[in-house]
Amino acid sequence: MTDISTYKLDAAFTSLAEFDHCAKPSDFIEVSLWHNGEGFNVDLSSNGDQSFKLTWGPGQAVRRSSR
Note down pLDDT in tens along the chain; length 67 residues. Answer: 889 989 999 999 999 999 999 999 999 999 999 999 999 999 999 878 999 999 999 999 999 999 7
pTM of the model: 0.82
Q: Cα separation of 32 and 13, whole Å?
A: 9
The pLDDT value recorded for residue 41 is 97
Backbone angle region of 29, left / alpha / beta, with phi > 0 → left and psi within -120 to 50 → alpha: beta
The pLDDT value recorded for residue 61 is 95
Exposure on the CB side of residue 58, measured as CA atoms within 13 A = 8
Q: Cα separation of 53 and 63, whole Å?
A: 14
The pLDDT value recorded for residue 64 is 94
With a CB cutoff of 8 Å and minimum separation 6, the contacts of 2 are none
